[in-house]
Amino acid sequence: MRKTLFYILLPLALVLAVSLPGLMAAEVPCEIEIAPDSDANPLFPSVTFSHDVHADLQCADCHHMFEGSGTIDSCRMCHMDRDPDYRTDSMSYYFAWHGRSEVSCFGCHYAKKNRKEEHGPIKCFNSGCHPK
């Protein structure tokens, strides 16, 4: 009887262990618009970001300060410096999306291109991130 119970409960526990994190995952919008600040004089138009297209990534791949639970902050929460002269500073607003490390949009797309993998846009306009 004990052995039978063990063989019933073990697979059930494994199924729960695998599926529970997915059930508790935060709901995210399918698409978000990454828009310049309303008081800014933007050089480029807004960008539409699709979470569905990036579903094969882990949240922490982009939200690199996320530790697996709790609130996921937007890039703007840390990358606050809007001064265009500081575009190379890793904490600048521009760098959050255009930096060369793989935690930025451009850096990830470019690294995938270099590895000859399917990748997202690496140009600014026309087939790129910013529509004209």
Q: Give the tens place of pLDDT for each residue, 31-40.
A: 988 887 766 6
Q: Break the chain into its structural domains and give their ranges.
A: 28-38+45-114
Mean pLDDT taken over the chain: 79
Is residue 106 within 8 A of residue 120, CB to CB? The reply is: no
Count of C-beta atoms within a 10 Å radius of residue 36: 15
Q: Which CATH architecture has domain 28-38+45-114?
A: Alpha-Beta Complex (3.90)
* 38-75 as b/e: b if 16+ CB within 10 A: eeeeeeeeebebeeeebeeeebeebbeebeeeeeeeeb
CB-CB contact of 111 with 122 (8 Å): no
pLDDT range class, residue 23, cuts 50, 70, 90: very low
Q: CA 64, 94, 120 angle in degrees (round to 5)?
A: 65
> Using an 8 Å Cβ cutoff, are 106 and 96 in contact?
no
- pTM for the whole thing? 0.68
**What are the tens digits of pLDDT across the range 68-99?**
888 888 888 888 877 767 777 788 888 888 88
